[in-house]
Amino acid sequence: MVAISQSQQKLAQSLKLKKYRQKHGLFLAEGAKIVQELLHSSYQIKHLYATADWIAQNEAEIHSKDVEIQLVNERELKKVSQLSTANAAVALVHIKTEELPETCSGKTLLLDGLQDPGNLGTIIRIADWFGIDRIIGSPTSADPFQPKVVQASMGSVLRIKYHRQELAPVIEFHPQLSTFAADLDGSSIYEYEFPIDGQGMMLIGNESKGVSEEMRSLVKDRITIPGKGRAESLNAGIATGIVCAFWCR
């Protein structure tokens, strides 16, 4: 067992900031389950720190992935972890950039300035659950490789195709697709006729400001989830889950 060096600690801890994730082209994946799923993904692992028990449980996958691994105890693992509680494995992973196809088909989620990492992680997990083809996030949306997003996605970030770019050109280039935005002033979700051909784009706005005026003017329809209580609005992740349940049935 070898102690984690100061330079290794510094690199791992720096990845909580976007500028260092971009500089090194790496993100942090933490937790026994997420790192286990990582071994079955197409992502390349730069370095893996893990306890003896976790290594023993995943020995075959580790060898098949040809991973550089360092055996550590829980005390050492905390030096490269950003979680408050000890865990069994932490990986430094190469960021993979997904190329957006020239023409989108299937179902696409568009995120217009969605900034809360917990919400983004939840939405990525929802997309994975419902078989959404891709997520396109605006440049002002949260980074999908932020540690809190990776944690909240529960490994789904490893499976969902996430693209980061301006949304307006995407919508304008696909006039044939049904586009709709989740909006408090929209039509009732219970009455809206979702496209039956499995195609379309759903727009989710910023947590506090909602969908921007520019995006609102580009989508064909706006829908809302009628409430019967006194809450002002729904959490963006919860609202996305409800709409996807109707959209993907």
pLDDT tens digits, one per residue of 179-238:
999 998 899 999 999 888 878 999 999 988 889 999 999 999 999 999 888 888 888 999
Q: Do residues 144 and 231 both lie within one domain? A: yes
User: Are 140 and 204 within 8 A, CB to CB?
Assistant: no
Has residue 85 got a pLDDT over 80? no
Q: Which of 239, 205, 241, 211 is nearest to 225 (CA)?
A: 239
Contacts with 216 (C-beta within 8 Å, 6 or more apart), sequence order? 181, 183, 222
From 94, 116, 139, give the residue that closes a domain: 94
Q: Do residues 111 and 90 both lie within one domain? A: no
Q: Quickly state the pLDDT bin for 86 (edges 50, 70, 90).
A: low
pTM over 0.95: no
Q: What is the per-residue pLDDT for 65? A: 85
Q: Quickly state the pLDDT bin for 66 (edges 50, 70, 90).
A: confident
Report residue 16 as tokens.
């909580």
> Is the residue at 102 inside a domain?
no
Q: Do residues 114 and 200 both lie within one domain? A: yes
What's the total number of domains in the chain? 2
> Is the residue at 100 inside a domain?
no
